Structure 1
Amino acid sequence: MAAPDRKARSAQDTLALEAGEPASGRARPAASRRVPVLLPLPLEGAYDYRLPPDVAAEPGSFVEVPLGGRTALGVVWDPPENPDPIAESRLRDVLAAKPAPPMTPSLRRFVEWVSAYTLAPPGAVLRMAMSSPSALDEPQATGGWRAVHPPPEGVRLTAERTRALAALGEQVMTGSDLAREAGVLPGVLRGMANSGLIAPALLPRAAAFPRPDPEADSPLLSEAQAEAARFLRDSVARRRFEVTLLQGVTGSGKTEVYLDAIAETLRAGRQALVLLPEIALSTQWLSRFERRFGAPPALWHSELSSRTRRVTWRAVAEGEAPVLVGARSALFLPFPDLGLIVVDEEHETAFKQEDGVTYHARDMAVVRARLSEAACVLVSATPSLESVTNAEAGRYARVQLPTRHGGAALPEIRAVDLRATPPERGRFLSPPLTAAIHETLERGEQAMLFLNRRGYAPLTLCRACGHRMQCPNCTAWLVEHRAQRRLACHHCGHVEPVRPECVECGAEHSLVPIGPGVERIQEEVADLFPEARKLVMASDTIPGPAAAAEAARRIEEREVDLIIGTQIVAKGWHFPHLTLVGVVDADLGLAGGDLRAGERTMQLLHQVAGRAGRAEAPGRVLLQTFSPDHPVMAALLRDDFEGFLAAESEQRRPGHWPPFGRLAALIVSSEEARAAERAARDLGLAAPSGDGLQVLGPAPAPLSLLRGRHRHRLLLKAERGMPVQAILRDWLNKVEVPGNVRVQVDVDPVSFL
């Protein structure tokens, strides 16, 4: 079965309630034993198999089938409308059906939809929905003991046996639990079993996750919060597809509002999914959830053990995980009755998957909700232009929280013009920022320095010959990590030691760091504020949930005076004693030709600024910049996010740039530079043309070498409403790409590297 060739639509159109229909069709007559089986492999469609009479399977059933000289797991798929069956004699038998809940029709339609939209093989998308193959087997039951009723006649009841029977009662218990509860030795239980007083039995399977209680601890909401929560509850109660953009300033209590929608979902007996951009670091969010509902949610992210993934996947499929919080891959879990999807920080680029099947989890969440007849809530203080445009067009509902909860005021934001007040030579913190930190620490309050750059320095240069330390596998400079005494590439992971001499000219002690990373700011802060207790928060120092929880505890309990962080400090943290945020380099991210550079910088700095002054004490934000008149800086200083988006819209609309037009990228790569160049040239010569269409490139990618592969890019630009997927499919079919060349399709790209 080939990938469905339905009318292509943009993700924004999907969000406009126009999700496509699946390519499944009429069911075969019941007498037919031929079934299509889709395998989780990068294949273009399902394979036909014969279903033996002794194997019961239906569309959605997980089955084991032969494939070449091995066996494989797959899913019985919906028969195509126009089958092209192979000869009956060539069919191989389905070996067995797995004892797992079948994949729901809505999830099968979702797999097809994602495949058609991204141009990824349906089997590659299915693989994401079968992320824990061991969960397809029946969970092993635990053995225990039950009392025999009536007890055998003539069996002597000692005091120990009487205690054991009393402890056992009518339940089933393991031998170790029973012996401990009754205070007897295991030999007593063996004797009771031999006498027929107790018999082996299977323990009832306990629920994998405790059920959150929607009435456990309902918070006192402000009038604005209560009105927003009521709107979302009504959306959930209607049990139909609706999208709501929940927009509120940082600290306005957006989380409490959508937790109320989750409570309504629980009352309705349906499941809720919450997507977070950094689930492994969301310690405070998880604590807030448990306080609200009296139980933790199920989790889904890359750091889970294989056993936890197996248990969680099965619990979701059986409806025993009422609420799951996860990263973008959680979208493909087998929810049987999904009633609500929440995408928190919906503007975050972390929701875009760049490797393998390229998709944007925010957009696909709306599709999943559409196919599940579920409510969808997109949450942000700084929503994407795509979502705002949909709301303004009436395709989404929009709920706003314009003020902070509890009477806290928004922080005062000021620019520090580095042209007028530069830092001292060799330093990166200006006198106004240094003075503000002094004042904050003297008042016993906490301060934060933000620089979205890991390591010590982004570039190492030889002052003798000018050589720059570069990654051998990527078009990228090596970043010095002084604490580990190594140079590292943040794209491919290449690592090499810091050398005493230049590898190019051999000059000793000639290598110097250029520019700051958070480690270098930490060094400067240690010199300026030696008594301050400091904490660096970056992905190097906060690698997972345990480290994040410990960092949050230390800050909340005021064991830290000064936080130095990268972008992970911008997302969702609530530190009531933090009153000053200093942005070391507010211009970082504005350079280059990225379409969304201004929007992303505005969102990031607005979110970082929102960490300050979230309680009674007022907050201040200082932005160090060489361009205080830049539109992003001017909008931040005016606290005018809406005005910034309006100006951004006016810039993009005439040229049909997203969200007022469509983009799709072809990334051509090979380990051989000439092969990549030739394939990109051939694709360029075959590029489509016509009214409303434009192809830019081919051109070497900004990262022209990445992980050892030479890269070229082509960008298709089309007016909104054009069938981009069909155009791409036709374009790719015109060019024979060599086996040593890979062409990746990225519909709606967010990165142009």
Structure 2
Amino acid sequence: MSSTIKHRRVRVLLPLAAGDMYDYRAPDSLDVEIGHFVTVPLGKREVTGVVWEEAADSDLAEDRMKDVLSLLPCAKLPSDSIKFIDWVAQYTMQRRGRVLRMAMSVPDALYPKTPRVGYRYTGALPEKMTAARKRVLDLIEEGGVQTAADLAAIAGVSTSVVKGLADKGALEAVDLPAEKPIDRPDWQYARFDLSDDQQVAAKSLASDVARQSFSVSLLDGVTGSGKTEVYFEAIAACLKEGRQALVLLPEIALTAQWLSRFEARFGVRPVEWHSDLGQAERRRNWRAVIEGRADIVVGARSALFLPFDNLGLIVVDEEHETSFKQDEGVPYNARDMAVVRGKIGDFPVVLASATPSLESLMNAKAGKYKHLKLPSRYGGALLPNVDIIDLRQHRPGSQRWISDPLRLAIEATLAEGQQVMLFLNRRGYAPLTLCDSCGHRLQCPNCSAWLVEHRLANRLQCHHCGYTAVSPKSCVECGAEDSFKACGPGIERLSEEAEMLFPGRRIAMMASDTVASPRAAAEFVAAMERGEIDILIGTQIVAKGYHFPNLTLVGIIDADLGLAGGDLRAAERTYQLLSQVTGRAGRESSPGKVFLQSYLPEHPVIEAIVRQQSDDFFALEAAGRESAGMPPFGRLAALVLSSPKAESVARFARDLARCAPMGRKITVLGPAPAPLSMIRGRHRYRFLVKCEKDVNIQSVVAKWLKGRKVPADIRLQIDIDPYNFM
């Protein structure tokens, strides 16, 4: 009687939205290890996944077991990355495959790039010398070895000219590295002079890095205090230890000044990771990270899932920024997950901000985080004076938004040869367009949102789904022609008013749809620094850490914008945004001035900005949250149901409500139509689960949904710790 030999089995995780791990046989011919990227059969196709764990307990019949087909020529996914993906999936209640997909976002990087072929001059000359051939030879004598494509592009010839010179013996082919090498930063390249406060904070961070153990430090400094220079010293300490560092920045495409400061300190630019990179650069950078050749990476929130093998530090700059929270796909907060990643890898994490989040402040107050403060600006610069313009007393007038006091201040500032910033957090020309005859409002056909007029681009646009349309000539409701009127201002309309009030002045707009790439941002910053812009009009992106030496006046057109609505963090977000905007004024020797236009000058947020008393504001905000049991004193989870069929999603929401969890420490709010009840053609209902802090909210939600089959036409999205309540 023969016994069946049971071969070694492993579990492979595939980067798919459905399913989880699958058991495969590890052939003796392949040295399969945990973390290997492999190809495996799945149905009739071959897919790429990661060997996640051993499967010694697999009960799948031997005749049904399929083999791992091949190992990919790539370094293994580090064990810390595997632990991190497992943790994120469990915490966010998402499939592990969906989280793995974020770490495997560049499939081409799993394969080495084909070596490049370059050409160099041999010293010989072709029998027939044409003008095109001469340009190539002159160029290569100066530039050394170059590819045919580069030579042809610079010399203005076709690649056949280059290859013809090679055939004639004037050039010879040589192998080049497959990719451009990664520049290695020098931790001793050019240290900055630090103030006493900066030195104390930098020494604390550097010692944490040297200890190579987990800790979290909240670097809390006023705008212009030099937080970046302080955490650069922590990065230097990390480089000295031979470990990798990651810096997370919000809206990475708009950080030209940050990259320049990094290069001044370390001699080279860091490795970048953000959506604006081309596919070739993303491929190169991903592979450099997993092979340990990327010493310092600066990136947007997705950089947190890069496969670092030797990570020794994470810095989250502007840690309060809501853009660190991802709402689509796998909902997660990169700030919070960075702390988890540091805990898994046993290394320090630095959270830096001029206006820290209430969550981080409470953790610092409780002693969970080290609190490092920079209370004054670097180099003796003073914080700007902040004055309120009460719009109830100083009305700008019909279809005007710049009050007389602000206009006079702008005129005086420009007369002194200094720059002005006007802040309004609304893109486009007007947020609403309606018919002057019947009141009909132009609405997105796919969303319950008004269309925003972008007059410069001659279009109406939905900022939720991207739908665009040309402004109609006549009203679809009443038939009136040329009756549509713009209501309220966007920065385009504000720019129009500024051009009328300050003729001849150089006015520029800065918003996410006008400055859409790192190159455009760098050009914009350079123009400001050269003094080629007199008045800068911008949305929230102008508040992101920019340093304009000659900018001395900031005018906030509508300081009340953002205070209304049912958002849990509306007051906190408005305070943080206004604080960041006011911090752009007077960052050098010339004193800065800020004017806030408001109809609510007695509002606690407005008063806190004027007094520049963040402690008072956050104490008031904390007391309100605590009394309501809201984060960070309680826990929230959102369940969003959506479907193309309104009745279908409403019916399922009612069915789900009948079995909602109940308890002394648990409250379920809803179901109710979401404030944006339709997005991209899908009708939306929301539940909000509220628990006391000691309750495992994931367990509550899991028990509620257990055994509940979601209809095929309905999508259920779970968001643990939601930031978006729309």
Instruction: Verify same fold: TM over 0.5.
Output: yes
Q: Residue 620 of structure 1 is aligned with which of 582, 593, 606?
A: 593
Structure 2 residue 237 is matched with structure 1 residue 264 = yes
In the alignment, is the contact (CA less than 8 A) between 1:682 and 1:735 conserved in 2?
no
Q: Residue 85 of structure 2 is aligned with which of 75, 100, 111?
A: 111
In the alignment, is the contact (CA less than 8 A) between 2:435 and 2:484 conserved in 1?
yes
1:516 is displaced (CA, Å) by: 0.4
> What do residues 200-251 of structure 1 show as CA deviations (whole Å, max 9, x unaligned)?
9755667631101111110111111111111110011111111100000000
1:654 is displaced (CA, Å) by: 2.2
The corresponding residue for 2:718 is 745
In the alignment, is the contact (CA less than 8 A) between 2:7 and 2:27 conserved in 1?
no
Task: Give the aligned residue type for 1:591.
Answer: A
In the alignment, is the contact (CA less than 8 A) between 2:225 and 2:374 conserved in 1?
yes
Task: Give the aligned residue type for 2:344.
Answer: L
The corresponding residue for 2:94 is 120
The corresponding residue for 1:75 is 50
The corresponding residue for 2:325 is 352
In the alignment, is the contact (CA less than 8 A) between 2:225 and 2:377 conserved in 1?
yes
The corresponding residue for 1:245 is 218
Task: Give the aligned residue type for 1:41.
Answer: L
SS state of the match for residue 30, structure 2? coil
> Could you tell me how far apart the structure 2 residues matched to 1:158 and 1:373 are?
57
Task: Give the aligned residue type for 1:225.
Answer: Q
1:253 is displaced (CA, Å) by: 0.3
> Could you tell me how far apart the structure 1 residues matched to 2:517 and 2:270 are?
18
1:84 is displaced (CA, Å) by: 4.7
Task: Give the aligned residue type for 1:52.
Answer: P
Q: Is the alpha carbon distance of 1:158 and 1:642 closer, same or farther for their aligned partners in structure 2, counting shifts above 3 Å?
A: closer
1:709 is displaced (CA, Å) by: 0.3
In the alignment, is the contact (CA less than 8 A) between 1:687 and 1:695 conserved in 2?
yes
In the alignment, is the contact (CA less than 8 A) between 2:253 and 2:517 conserved in 1?
yes
1:540 is displaced (CA, Å) by: 1.6
> Could you tell me how far apart the structure 2 residues matched to 1:111 and 1:158 are?
56
Structure 2 residue 5 is matched with structure 1 residue 34 = no
Q: Give the 5 Å matches for 1:328-367.
A: 328-367=301-340
Structure 2 residue 277 is matched with structure 1 residue 304 = yes
The corresponding residue for 1:168 is none
The corresponding residue for 1:573 is 546
The corresponding residue for 2:435 is 462
The corresponding residue for 2:131 is none
> Could you tell me how far apart the structure 2 residues matched to 1:371 and 1:261 are?
19
In the alignment, is the contact (CA less than 8 A) between 1:208 and 1:315 conserved in 2?
no
Runs of 4+ with deviation above 4 angstroms: 143-146, 157-160, 172-177, 185-193, 198-207
1:188 is displaced (CA, Å) by: 10
> What do residues 722-748 of structure 1 show as CA deviations (whole Å, max 9, x unaligned)?
111111111111422101001100000
Structure 2 residue 12 is matched with structure 1 residue 45 = no
Task: Give the aligned residue type for 2:30.
Answer: V
Structure 2 residue 550 is matched with structure 1 residue 593 = no
> What do residues 601-624 of structure 1 show as CA deviations (whole Å, max 9, x unaligned)?
000000000000000110011111
Structure 2 residue 510 is matched with structure 1 residue 537 = yes
Q: Is the alpha carbon distance of 1:47 and 1:527 closer, same or farther for their aligned partners in structure 2, counting shifts above 3 Å?
A: same
Q: Residue 63 of structure 2 is aligned with which of 89, 102, 116?
A: 89
In the alignment, is the contact (CA less than 8 A) between 2:429 and 2:455 conserved in 1?
yes
Q: Give the 5 Å matches for 1:581-660.
A: 581-660=554-633
Q: Give the 5 Å matches for 1:174-193.
A: none
> Could you tell me how far apart the structure 2 residues matched to 1:570 and 1:273 are?
23
Structure 2 residue 392 is matched with structure 1 residue 386 = no
The corresponding residue for 2:129 is none
The corresponding residue for 1:375 is 348
Task: Give the aligned residue type for 1:39.
Answer: L
In the alignment, is the contact (CA less than 8 A) between 1:347 and 1:384 conserved in 2?
yes
Q: Give the 5 Å matches for 1:645-684.
A: 645-684=618-657
The corresponding residue for 2:108 is 134
Structure 2 residue 705 is matched with structure 1 residue 732 = yes
The corresponding residue for 1:215 is 188
Supply the RMSD in Å over aligned alpha carbons: 2.5
> Could you tell me how far apart the structure 1 residues matched to 2:465 and 2:303 are?
25
> Could you tell me how far apart the structure 2 residues matched to 1:275 and 1:292 are?
18
> Could you tell me how far apart the structure 2 residues matched to 1:119 and 1:175 are?
49
> Could you tell me how far apart the structure 1 residues matched to 2:32 and 2:169 are?
44
> Could you tell me how far apart the structure 2 residues matched to 1:598 and 1:87 are?
59
1:85 is displaced (CA, Å) by: 2.8
State the TM-score, normalizing by the size of structure 2: 0.92
1:191 is displaced (CA, Å) by: 9.7
State the TM-score, normalizing by the size of structure 1: 0.89
> Could you tell me how far apart the structure 2 residues matched to 1:536 and 1:676 are?
42
> Could you tell me how far apart the structure 2 residues matched to 1:631 and 1:696 are?
28
Q: Is the alpha carbon distance of 1:502 and 1:230 closer, same or farther for their aligned partners in structure 2, counting shifts above 3 Å?
A: same
> Could you tell me how far apart the structure 2 residues matched to 1:300 and 1:466 are?
47
The corresponding residue for 2:134 is none
Q: Report the count of equivalent residues.
A: 696
Task: Give the aligned residue type for 1:119.
Answer: M
The corresponding residue for 1:453 is 426
SS state of the match for residue 78, structure 1? strand
Q: Residue 492 of structure 1 is aligned with which of 465, 485, 494?
A: 465
In the alignment, is the contact (CA less than 8 A) between 1:61 and 1:76 conserved in 2?
yes
Task: Give the aligned residue type for 1:347.
Answer: H
> What do residues 171-194 of structure 1 show as CA deviations (whole Å, max 9, x unaligned)?
x978989x99xxxx999988999x
> What do residues 660-684 of structure 1 show as CA deviations (whole Å, max 9, x unaligned)?
0000000000000011101111121
In the alignment, is the contact (CA less than 8 A) between 1:175 and 1:186 conserved in 2?
no
The corresponding residue for 2:130 is none
> Could you tell me how far apart the structure 1 residues matched to 2:116 and 2:473 are?
61
Q: After alignment, is 37-46 or 706-715 more displaced?
A: 37-46
Q: Is the alpha carbon distance of 1:505 and 1:580 closer, same or farther for their aligned partners in structure 2, counting shifts above 3 Å?
A: same
Query: Gaps (5+ residues) in structure 2?
Result: 126-143, 153-161
Q: Share of identical aligned residues, percent?
A: 54
Structure 2 residue 267 is matched with structure 1 residue 294 = yes
Q: Is the alpha carbon distance of 1:143 and 1:696 closer, same or farther for their aligned partners in structure 2, counting shifts above 3 Å?
A: same
Q: Residue 481 of structure 2 is aligned with which of 473, 487, 508?
A: 508
The corresponding residue for 2:72 is 98
> Could you tell me how far apart the structure 2 residues matched to 1:431 and 1:500 are?
35
1:45 is displaced (CA, Å) by: 1.9
Task: Give the aligned residue type for 2:258.
Answer: W
> Could you tell me how far apart the structure 2 residues matched to 1:644 and 1:79 are?
53
In the alignment, is the contact (CA less than 8 A) between 1:612 and 1:620 conserved in 2?
yes
In the alignment, is the contact (CA less than 8 A) between 2:9 and 2:54 conserved in 1?
no
1:136 is displaced (CA, Å) by: 0.6
Q: After alignment, is 514-523 or 131-140 more displaced?
A: 131-140
In the alignment, is the contact (CA less than 8 A) between 1:208 and 1:321 conserved in 2?
no
> Could you tell me how far apart the structure 2 residues matched to 1:347 and 1:321 are?
27
1:484 is displaced (CA, Å) by: 1.6
1:691 is displaced (CA, Å) by: 1.6
SS state of the match for residue 77, structure 1? strand
Structure 2 residue 645 is matched with structure 1 residue 696 = no
> Could you tell me how far apart the structure 2 residues matched to 1:174 and 1:452 are?
48
The corresponding residue for 2:293 is 320
1:531 is displaced (CA, Å) by: 1.5
1:346 is displaced (CA, Å) by: 0.4
Structure 2 residue 660 is matched with structure 1 residue 687 = yes
> Could you tell me how far apart the structure 1 residues matched to 2:248 and 2:507 are?
31
> What do residues 691-740 of structure 1 show as CA deviations (whole Å, max 9, x unaligned)?
21000000000000111000000000000021111111111114221010
Q: Is the alpha carbon distance of 1:616 and 1:72 closer, same or farther for their aligned partners in structure 2, counting shifts above 3 Å?
A: same
> Could you tell me how far apart the structure 2 residues matched to 1:189 and 1:665 are?
65
> Could you tell me how far apart the structure 1 residues matched to 2:368 and 2:389 are?
40
The corresponding residue for 1:475 is 448
> Could you tell me how far apart the structure 1 residues matched to 2:642 and 2:249 are?
31
